[in-house]
Structure 1
């Protein structure tokens, strides 16, 4: 009797943890692997997808749910894990661990993957197999860091692709349309992380989006879009100016509205934070050097590096209370943050004499000289001439029943999100369209997140920046304005 037939007829209990290299070796074929009862698989989670629901063909009117994740237990071996089940089971399982945690999987089923079909949508792995979790037989347990070998934990900083297999941001921009639709690898530093924006589609599906701005030695601003909760959660952990990422298998596309190249995280993508590679270390030294030289510091253009987590801002004020608080805070260097439920009372976006859009330097973020169209700051710091980009840069007044907060800066991405259009879309509008847009926003109660900093050069000695401005929920606003604002 052949060895494989013997194993199929007499299953062998395998008590030691399964090493993922067994899934890649030619010593075992898939028939033998199926015959083993592997009790444990231990690995670190390096990638994870969102939970998704699909119509159940066997039970018309109901849905089955699924999600996948990728685990790794050595530099050369990682494998995809998929689970199917009812909504409660899948959401509970998915919520029990995150990327970067070590997990122990008990009683997984080993299954041959369909290369051509599956690897269009899931990360490419060295093995021709995948693991399947059964609701009735399989379990996933998060391992304590004290239970795990440090060598396993260090794998989270090892890219899944060869460390030199990536495009620089400058190469992507230079190649332009020729890369449109391609899936490539990117090594870059994090310049800013935007706040997640939530929305509902026309067919009532809920969605979310977060934009990360990247940079490297060749390009100062490059957008990376995250559309799923898992990548957004990961992005929220990144520290601008201190984090480098290796993004494997992201989709590159040309954004015709912003007239620029962009990257998007997809279900195939695996992002390695602060990769331990020579190339990443060189980039990190570049980032730290620019940070120490204050290349990115700009009092006027600080919107380029603003990355405040709005969830940490909870203090609600009236305009009167905020002014009083700022007066008490004026001798302190720390900024003051707060929330206002107020109206935009001045928004001059349809006045030809008001400059709503200005050009900024891609290298440092300063406003370039309108006459020469060059950046004197970069010339001063001997960084050479950098390309420019257009950005919203305007002042608005904010008013509630207690007073008005004048000359609040509304710029960059926050302005685009508030107005509901990009710079290029705005510039293409007629005067009538701009006026109509203005009256859609004026005198509508908004929930406004603000940052206030003492500045002797600013009007009234206070510089106020809008961090977010969205239409206020009437019930929430009424409850807050009934007396919950405080000094």
Structure 2
């Protein structure tokens, strides 16, 4: 379907019929039901969504119909999808009939989608999709019209009940919690922790299923939100202010604005420095003192059970090692002050929040790899392997690596890929990771066959076992220094 066959939202008029509109979904409400006035005992179902087709224009759409039609339609698309709407009914907005519960739009009209006459489907035209996708990152309000979290906290209860705009980064996304209201209705709740350069943690609460599903796509410390028309209230339980997503709220993820870019840089800076992750500040320990041996599944289980970082050894295959990617993806240069990634020829740090951005750049260059390792119990994905550990593991410096041919890099990759390795790893909880845990490789080398055979035998015993040896025992494991005791966890 050609883009020129669509009617622009800015041109909508109630006299128009047989329309085709293309837009991107920027907001969506839950499905609700109401008694059908025309059929006693029956129910009508409805939900609303907001669609945008240009930087300045977006419109609310309401769908009505049977249970199967409305729920089927709601399940067919999500926020961020591009859709086409055929043959909607165009009507004037009526503030007295529910518009106060919908997002505020610049259009004088609203659209009604009916089961019998209308059709909504995912857009299939690549050109139209490419045109619409950038609109997802444009706030629906003036990008400078927002409160910082510091402003909200400073104003305190003066803002109780107010509907405002806020700009903040995502610190963490909680798990959905189910509850039952006093009248027996089932509900759900999810809390997102926000932060900016003025406040380290601020609660944003989502109550609707659609808002909760949307929030679960946000990556902590890598996502900035412009939250338009969010309700601010005083939370007596916390004795502080909190924000709640409501039916008028439109959330723009990673807005394409200067203010959001500065906040994103700050979020990246504090994420790299670990400023918000107190549990990641566990001091590293000497490799020789790491003696606990785990399977991959045991590493995952212990990480879920304990919030504290811990160290261990795993005998696993390296199942992903992208050494044959472009050099820029293997070796990265970072500002020594804020750890922000910069180009090799940069004269100063490009992070606007870096304390040394006006000074001559001081940078470090090193390996910056993400590896997966796998054993018979599972895979631990996207573990960090950085210099100087990576240099020791690979047996070359970054300069030597950069001078290798493509074939030589591939050969180096296959020296380790799918080979059994002895991996010393630091494991900690990390909400920013999809798995909820983060692995940092402390040391890595090809495993000694004899040492692995001993380990493999112990791991296949049915009952828990602790293998102990004192320094100097004749049964010392090949390649081990003999410090402390070796323990296997089954």
TM-score by length of 2: 0.58
The alpha carbon displacement at 1:145 in A equals 6.8
| 2:300 maps to which of 299, 314, 336 | 336
Query: Is 1:56–1:62's contact at 8 Å kept on the other side of the alignment?
Result: yes
The answer on 1:224 being equivalent to 2:204 is: yes
The alpha carbon displacement at 1:88 in A equals 1.1
Q: Residue 106 of structure 2 aligns with which residue? A: 126
Q: Residue 249 of structure 1 aligns with which residue? A: 229
Q: Deviations over 1:151-188 (max 9, x none)?
A: 31100000000000100000001101110001000100
Q: Show structure 1 runs of 5+ residues with no match.
A: 1-14, 24-29, 303-325, 342-380, 382-452, 456-461, 469-486
| 1:146 maps to which of 126, 133, 150 | 126
Distance, in Å, in 2 between the alignment partners of 1:288 and 1:85 is: 46
Query: Is 1:85–1:135's contact at 8 Å kept on the other side of the alignment?
Result: yes
Write the mapping of 1:53-132 to structure 2, written as runs, cut at 5 A. Answer: 53-132=33-112
Distance, in Å, in 1 between the alignment partners of 2:143 and 2:243 is: 19
Q: Deviations over 1:294-315 (max 9, x none)?
A: 212322789xxxxxxxxxxxxx
Query: Is 2:200–2:276's contact at 8 Å kept on the other side of the alignment?
Result: no
| 2:175 maps to which of 195, 199, 205 | 195
Query: Is 1:333–1:454's contact at 8 Å kept on the other side of the alignment?
Result: no
Q: Residue 284 of structure 1 aligns with which residue? A: 264
Query: Is 1:208–1:228's contact at 8 Å kept on the other side of the alignment?
Result: yes
SS of structure 2 residue aligned to 1:159:
coil
* Rg comparison, structure with higher value: 2
The alpha carbon displacement at 1:199 in A equals 2.3
Distance, in Å, in 1 between the alignment partners of 2:68 and 2:303 is: 36
The answer on 1:173 being equivalent to 2:153 is: yes
Distance, in Å, in 1 between the alignment partners of 2:271 and 2:203 is: 20
Write the mapping of 1:305-324 to structure 2, written as runs, cut at 5 A. Answer: none
Q: Deviations over 1:187-212 (max 9, x none)?
A: 00000000111223333322110000
Q: Show structure 2 runs of 5+ residues with no match.
A: 283-290, 306-354, 356-423, 437-489
| 1:283 to 1:334, Cα distance in 2 relative to 1, 3 A | farther
The alpha carbon displacement at 1:339 in A equals 11
The alpha carbon displacement at 1:233 in A equals 0.8
Distance, in Å, in 1 between the alignment partners of 2:192 and 2:170 is: 7
| 2:165 maps to which of 154, 176, 185 | 185
Query: Is 1:42–1:73's contact at 8 Å kept on the other side of the alignment?
Result: yes
Q: Deviations over 1:319-362 (max 9, x none)?
A: xxxxxxx95428x8994137999xxxxxxxxxxxxxxxxxxxxx
Distance, in Å, in 2 between the alignment partners of 1:142 and 1:190 is: 29
| 1:238 maps to which of 193, 214, 218 | 218
TM-score by length of 1: 0.58
Q: Residue 17 of structure 1 aligns with which residue? A: 6
- RMSD between superposed Cα atoms in Å: 3.2
Distance, in Å, in 1 between the alignment partners of 2:29 and 2:429 is: 39
The alpha carbon displacement at 1:146 in A equals 2.5
